Amino acid sequence: MVTQVPKRPAGKPVHVCLDYGVEIDAPIGRVWKATSTTDGLRLWYSETAVIEEGIGGRLYWGDPKSTPKDQNLISKVVCMDPQRLLLLKALHLPSTMPNRRAARGVWSAIYLSPLPGERTLVEVRCLTTCDPRSFAALAESMRESAKRSLERLKIALESSQVPVDGDGDLEDEAALEG
């Protein structure tokens, strides 16, 4: 269920600064858990990722308890449509991030679509209202980062460690077959 729609500042056009996707040999439920739970994110993105699940929750790309806040990328969960959409708004960017100023207010949407044969299409789109000229360099680095991240997601889900149904715990795939 979509519960909140992002609002853009009056008179500012919205620009797509990233549009990238990958097909993964995993059912949509596993992909959803890998992209929307702390255990899932730690499987492929960062061992210190933390997500406070639900609308309004925070996503920390670094442990908020052990990583200095200045080094965390913090996003807000704006919308969740289970097994279909996760929409995030950047709230805080690390001081070391290139073009940090241009990236303020970036919205990231992770779309999941089922494909035949227990496969899933994962698409990432990032939107911004900033001047596209000032955003060009950041958009390029975001594309490269998205490609690397989605490749890690693909490898993680197509290997022996997979998120399973239930409480989101990660288990060895061989244990699931037994």
- Domain locations in the chain as residue ranges: 15-160
Burial of 101-138, coded b for 16+ CB within 10 Å and e otherwise, reads ebbebbbbbbebeeeeeeebebbbbbbbbbeeeebeeb
State the pTM of this model.
0.76
- Please tell me the least confidently modeled range out of 32-36, 56-60, 164-168: 164-168
Give CA–CA dist 78/90, Å, rounded.
10
Phi, psi of 24 (to 5 degrees): -125, 135
Let me know how long the chain is: 178
The pLDDT score that the predictor gives to residue 170 is 44
The residue ranking higher by pLDDT, 4 or 111, is 111
Select from 3.40.1390.10, 3.30.70.890, 3.30.530.20, 3.40.50.720 the CATH code of 15-160: 3.30.530.20
Rounded (10°) CA dihedral 16, 18, 20, 26:
-100
Amino acid at 119: R
The residue ranking higher by pLDDT, 95 or 3, is 95
3-state helix, strand, coil in the chain (%, to 5): 30, 35, 35
Structure tokens at 41: 């994110």
> Three-state DSSP class for 34?
helix
Residue 100: pLDDT above 70? no
Contact yes or no for 45/149 (Cβ under 8 A) = yes
The pLDDT score that the predictor gives to residue 175 is 29
**Average pLDDT, integer, range 117-135:** 81
Residue 6: pLDDT above 80? no
The pLDDT score that the predictor gives to residue 117 is 94
